[in-house]
Structure 1
Amino acid sequence: MEPVQLMLLKGKGMFYIREGERTIAEMVFDKSDTALTVYHTEVVPEAEGKGIAGELLTAMVEYARQHQLKVVPLCPYVHAQFKRHPERYQDVWAQSR
């Protein structure tokens, strides 16, 4: 399994993990000047339960921090993790008030 990689083109992007020629996990987002809006996280069934979605989440949050971006977690997985661990993500979480 390869490390998390980033693909970004014209404000649309994804963090992804490949195993050989195959993408086994991805987190899809849009990027603006101030925010990452995360829409979807998916891990292939045979790779589920191995912490791979967490690796994508960590990479995305590190990217947001490095670029001073807020995260709009429309993806159910990301939103659930932000709600479960607000102390870890409060600095990047764009919560509606």
Structure 2
Amino acid sequence: MEVKHGNNIFYVGDNQNELLAAMTFVPSGNDKIIIDHTEVSDELRGQNVGDKLLESLVEYSRENKLKIIPLCPFAKARIEKYPEKYSDILYKG
């Protein structure tokens, strides 16, 4: 399963108009992004797709030296559950 990156979105699907799963974010200043939504279709539930989206977004944030503010309940819960994996990218302001 390939996670793709578009304009402020990481997604699974043929294109951004036919999403099977998506995690969206909003830039905040020059050094932060806000994860605002995660959605996974019933077809892909239970396959750790949300985690794959989060991992792709975290990799992107590390490469671009961005901190993450997780407003999305899913992303917030996963980041809090695994602080050892995510503490370096979590915005602590």
Match of 2:23 in 1: 27
Letter paired with 2:81: R
Letter paired with 1:14: I
**Runs of 5+ consecutive residues of structure 2 not aligned to the other structure:** none
Aligned pairs for 1:2-81 (under 5 A) are: 3-8=2-7, 13-19=8-14, 22-32=18-28, 33-81=30-78
Across the aligned residues of Structure 1 and Structure 2, the Cα RMSD in angstroms comes to 1.6
**Runs of at least 4 residues off by over 6 Å:** none
Q: Which of 77, 90, 93 matches 2:90?
A: 93
For 1:79 and 1:95, the matched residues in 2 are separated by 13
Letter paired with 2:25: F
**Runs of 5+ consecutive residues of structure 1 not aligned to the other structure:** none
Letter paired with 1:79: K
Using the TM superposition, give the Cα deviation of residue 7 of structure 1 relative to its aligned residue in structure 2, in angstroms.
1.1
Letter paired with 1:48: R
Using the TM superposition, give the Cα deviation of residue 95 of structure 1 relative to its aligned residue in structure 2, in angstroms.
2.9
Letter paired with 2:44: A
TM-score, normalisation: structure 2: 0.90
Aligned residues: 91
Using the TM superposition, give the Cα deviation of residue 35 of structure 1 relative to its aligned residue in structure 2, in angstroms.
0.7
Letter paired with 1:52: V
TM-score, normalisation: structure 1: 0.86
